[in-house]
Amino acid sequence: MPIHDWTRVPAGTFHDFHHEWISTIKRALNDGLLPDGYYAMAEQIAGGMGPDVLTLERPTPRDPLPEPGQEGGLALATRPPRVRFHAGREDDLLARKAKAVVVRHSSDHRVVAMVELVSPGNKSSRYAIDAFVRKVRDALHAGIHLLIVDLFPPGPRDPHGIHQVIWEEGSPGDFPLTADEPLACVSYIGGPVGEVFLEPVAVGRPLPEMPLFLSEAIYVPVPLDATYQRAWDAVPTFWRNAITSIPPQSSA
């Protein structure tokens, strides 16, 4: 299904869609995408990535999480994600969010990955975007893997897209967006050696399948297009019409 222009409706309308899409992605992950031992929940996270969120301490080389079994998840080494841009770097990067899909491991219920859908509120002020970026960097630094979907065009606070605000400018992986593809889906591998997988997208084009990493080597493919379609079907008809109607032509 083609991506819609969500700038044509009030932020509250996208908020309603955001809620439905988060729930749909959560159901898809729990309905066979996640390997045994992992589960997804829609959680609202406010504040820092403290023990109440992470549950126990973050993974360390001496305290690793069990690797997903062969029956679930794809190996990065043998099935690299199909995205046009990929880079790695060594850094402290990271994040965490409010209203996200949170994947936890059932052995100790710690957070291993999150899916975040950028909303207009995340870009509404310098304070808002700084808080969003700070949480993202905090999460990555804690070893949490992220999938971020931004369906809103760059603005004065992210002139080259949200990824360039998160990622250090001038470093490998500092991928710019173009006028033809100003939106982005971005997957991050968390930890001290970060990696990014970015796919530019645009209004009117379908969403790609994107990787959600469960470890540095294993990911599950998230069907963004199919879940977007199911969430779109739940949008009230009035607002679907408002988004898809052809805008009036201005008279010369």
What are the pLDDT digits (tens) for 155-188? 999 999 999 999 876 677 778 889 999 999 999 9
Mean pLDDT of the chain: 83
Region of 105 on the Ramachandran plot (φ > 0 left; ψ -120 to 50 alpha; else beta):
beta
The answer to the question of residue 178 being in a domain is yes
Res 251 pLDDT > 60: no
The answer to the question of residue 186 being in a domain is yes
Domain that holds residue 97: 6-44+72-237
β-strand partners of 2: 206
Res 249 pLDDT > 70: no
The answer to the question of residue 170 being in a domain is yes
Q: Which of 86-100, 181-195, 196-210 is predicted with the least confidence, judged by mean pLDDT?
A: 86-100
The predicted pLDDT at position 96 comes to 34
Taking residues 190-208, what's their average pLDDT? 93
Please name the residues in contact with 143: beta carbons below 8 A apart, sequence gap of 6 or more.
58, 59, 190, 191
Q: How many residues does the chain have?
A: 252
Res 139 pLDDT > 50: yes
Sheet holding 209-213, edge to edge: 74-75, 218-223, 209-213
Residue type, 130: D
The answer to the question of residue 106 being in a domain is yes
Name the domain count of the chain: 1
In the chain, where do the E strands start and end?
A: 38-43, 74-75, 85-90, 100-105, 111-117, 145-150, 183-189, 193-201, 209-213, 218-223
The pTM of this model reads 0.79
Retrieve residue 200's tokens.
């530019």
The answer to the question of residue 61 being in a domain is no
The answer to the question of residue 185 being in a domain is yes
The predicted pLDDT at position 60 comes to 42
The answer to the question of residue 67 being in a domain is no
What are the pLDDT digits (tens) for 35-76? 999 999 998 765 445 444 444 334 444 345 555 555 567 776
Spatial contact of 177 and 154, defined as CB atoms under 8 Å apart: yes
Confidence band, pLDDT 50/70/90 cuts, at residue 92: very low
Q: Which of 30-34, 52-56, 170-174, 241-245 is predicted with the least confidence, judged by mean pLDDT?
A: 52-56
Confidence band, pLDDT 50/70/90 cuts, at residue 84: low
The answer to the question of residue 59 being in a domain is no
Cα separation, 206 vs 158, in Å, equals: 23
